[in-house]
């Protein structure tokens, strides 16, 4: 049985995983999920990327939005707002709230996030083993100019301040420049139980079209994970989240700029580097980037990379596995 390890963020990772499951129905898939986006709201621990993977693979996702529960209502949020209790900018629905209540309750009882995630997955049956990258608290912060907030926020003092990733992404919609992206706590975090073992036992490691900075980059920032992948001696193949020099959805260009990486499929491949990446798939639109990526020592091919439907996504997964075979040969 083929053992596949996937480093996943939220929507891009989750949708790709759905394609991978149909492309390789008999494979044993372990997902290492990003927890740098986690946030405490209303006293509850919210793990947006883990939940997006769990709901998407478990059949509970809001397909249109790509995150949150299907058939959602927002009565709790409205009641909280009536008390003047926010934030209003983060959309937690009633059904979703239950997940966060269960998670927070279990963590309060002393269970680590990995055990809680396993318990939540017992309901959702995602068909993969979903592991948080770490059980330790890691929180991605984004450094912005306070002057950029004037008007929107009333801030007048000049200088820089760090805001939580969700505040940057959801509240500010990445409308101001990011000067740095810091996964606070990552430097002392330990990989969650099973993470290093899964990598060591993998036949192939895949980077789905997830955000290279705040999703895959954050997972790689946990000491030991990057090293384990590089040392596993198995093909590592990625799929570009950048198509035609722009993110397919979202604002990845803003956080790529913060780490000095151009928004292009080739620049993201070079950012991961040939020390980590063996193969890289770019969209057909970016066929012109193939030669440059290969010059950097990374096998590269242009194929359709738009996850428009289940079959298109499964084809992407098959291409990634095919490239892994070529690397191995």
Name the binding residues: 51
CA distance linking residue 130 with residue 152, whole number of Å: 38
* Residue 88 burial class via C-beta count within 10 angstroms: exposed 0-12, middle 13-18, buried 19 and up: exposed
* Residue 66 burial class via C-beta count within 10 angstroms: exposed 0-12, middle 13-18, buried 19 and up: middle
Q: Which is nearer to Ca ion, 24 or 47 (CB)?
A: 47
Q: Which is nearer to ligand GDP, 12 or 93 (CB)?
A: 12
Our finding on whether 36 is near ligand GDP (CB under 6 A) is no
Our finding on whether 211 is near ligand GDP (CB under 6 A) is yes
User: Which residue of 35, 99, 215, 218 would you call a contact of ligand GDP, by CB under 6 A?
Assistant: 215
Our finding on whether 174 is near ligand GDP (CB under 6 A) is no
Strand, coil or helix: what is 307? coil
Our finding on whether 209 is near ligand GDP (CB under 6 A) is yes
Strand, coil or helix: what is 175? coil
User: Which residue of 49, 51, 62, 278 would you call a contact of Ca ion, by CB under 5 A?
Assistant: 49
Instruction: Tell the smallest beta-carbon distance from residue 174 to Ca ion (Å).
Output: 12
Strand 139-145 and strand 160-164: the pairing is antiparallel
> What are the DSSP calls for 177-213, one per residue?
---EEEEETGGG--BPTTHHHHHHH-SEEEE-S--TT
CA distance linking residue 192 with residue 118, whole number of Å: 12
User: Which residue of 5, 7, 9, 225 would you call a contact of ligand GDP, by CB under 6 A?
Assistant: 9
Instruction: Tell the smallest beta-carbon distance from residue 252 to ligand GDP (Å).
Output: 4
Our finding on whether 96 is near Ca ion (CB under 5 A) is no
Contact by Cβ (8 Å): 268, 212: yes
**Chain residues 223-252 in contact with ligand GDP, contact rule CB under 6 A:** 240-241, 243, 247-250, 252
Sequence-distant contacts of 308-313: CB under 8 A, at least 24 apart: 310/18, 310/19, 310/22, 312/19, 313/15, 313/16, 313/18, 313/19, 313/22
- The residue to which tokens 């969700």 are assigned: 166
User: Which residue of 172, 305, 320, 323 would you call a contact of ligand GDP, by CB under 6 A?
Assistant: 305
Residue 302 in tokens: 């242009």
Our finding on whether 265 is near ligand GDP (CB under 6 A) is no
Instruction: Tell the smallest beta-carbon distance from residue 316 to Ca ion (Å).
Output: 20
Our finding on whether 126 is near ligand GDP (CB under 6 A) is no
Our finding on whether 306 is near ligand GDP (CB under 6 A) is yes
Q: Which is nearer to ligand GDP, 202 or 252 (CB)?
A: 252
Our finding on whether 10 is near ligand GDP (CB under 6 A) is yes
Provide the binding-site residues for ligand GDP, judged by CB under 6 A: 8-13, 49, 52, 209-211, 215, 240-241, 243, 247-250, 252, 305-307
List contacts with Ca ion (CB under 5 A): 9-10, 37, 49
């Amino acid at each position: 049985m083929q053992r596949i390890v996937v480093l996943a963020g939220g929507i891009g990772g989750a949708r790709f995983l759905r394609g991978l499951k149909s492309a390789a129905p008999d494979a044993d898939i372990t997902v290492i999920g990003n927890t740098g986006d986690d946030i405490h709201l209303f006293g509850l621990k919210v793990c947006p990327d883990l939940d997006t993977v769990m709901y998407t693979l478990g059949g509970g996702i809001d397909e249109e939005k790509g995150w949150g529960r299907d058939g959602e209502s927002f009565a709790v949020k409205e009641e909280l707002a009536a008390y003047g209790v926010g934030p209003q900018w983060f959309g937690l629905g009633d059904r979703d709230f239950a997940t966060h209540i269960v998670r927070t309750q279990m963590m309060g009882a002393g269970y680590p996030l990995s055990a809680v995630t396993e318990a939540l997955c017992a309901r959702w049956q995602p068909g993969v083993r979903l592991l948080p990258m770490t059980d330790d608290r890691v929180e991605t912060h984004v450094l912005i100019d306070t002057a950029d907030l004037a008007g929107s926020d009333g801030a007048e003092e000049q200088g820089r301040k760090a805001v939580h990733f969700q505040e940057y992404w959801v509240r500010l919609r990445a409308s101001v420049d990011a000067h740095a992206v810091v996964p606070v706590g990552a430097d002392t975090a330990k990989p969650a139980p099973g993470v290093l073992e899964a990598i060591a036992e993998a036949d192939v490691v895949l980077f789905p079209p997830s955000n290279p900075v705040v999703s895959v980059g954050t997972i790689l920032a946990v000491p030991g994970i990057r090293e384990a992948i590089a040392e596993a001696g198995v093909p590592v193949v990625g799929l570009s989240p950048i198509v035609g020099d722009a993110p397919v959805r979202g604002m990845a260009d803003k956080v790529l700029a913060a780490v000095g990486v151009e928004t292009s499929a080739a620049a993201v491949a070079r950012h991961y580097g040939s020390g980590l990446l063996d193969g890289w798939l770019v969209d057909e639109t970016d066929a012109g980037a193939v030669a440059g990526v290969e010059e950097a020592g990374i096998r590269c091919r242009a194929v359709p990379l738009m996850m428009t439907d289940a079959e298109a996504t499964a084809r992407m997964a098959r291409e990634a596995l095919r490239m892994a075979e070529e690397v191995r040969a």
